[in-house]
Amino acid sequence: MSNLKHPKTVPGAWYTTHPDDPNGEGCIACAICYTDAPQLFKDDEDGNAYLYRQPENAEEIRQCEDMADSCSVGSIKKES
């Protein structure tokens, strides 16, 4: 499991991994999360995703969980 966070991810439990993650879990700029949950995710200048806002309610937490399940490389994570 990676702990190398994207540098633009805001502090909090949820995060995206750095695109250069050595464990192969880095964002590949597929655009799913920032297209489907734009109130939480944005893309950087290279198209890689990061959380610009942490979820604040049950619906937003569910969206993060859905995006994590949809991420083909496992780049969306939650700290335990």
Of all helices (H) and strands (E), which one includes residue 15?
strand 14-16
Q: Are 36 and 51 in contact (CB under 8 A)?
A: no
Domain architecture of the chain: domains with CATH: 14-75 (3.30.70.20)
Q: What is the mean pLDDT of each run of 10 residues along the chain (80 residues)?
A: 82 93 87 96 96 97 97 92
**Contact in structure between 15 and 51 (CB atoms under 8 Å):** yes
Cβ proximity of 34 and 41 under 8 Å: yes
pTM: 0.90
CA-CA-CA-CA dihedral for 2, 67, 9, 41, to nearest 10: 160
**Predicted pLDDT of residue 58:** 98
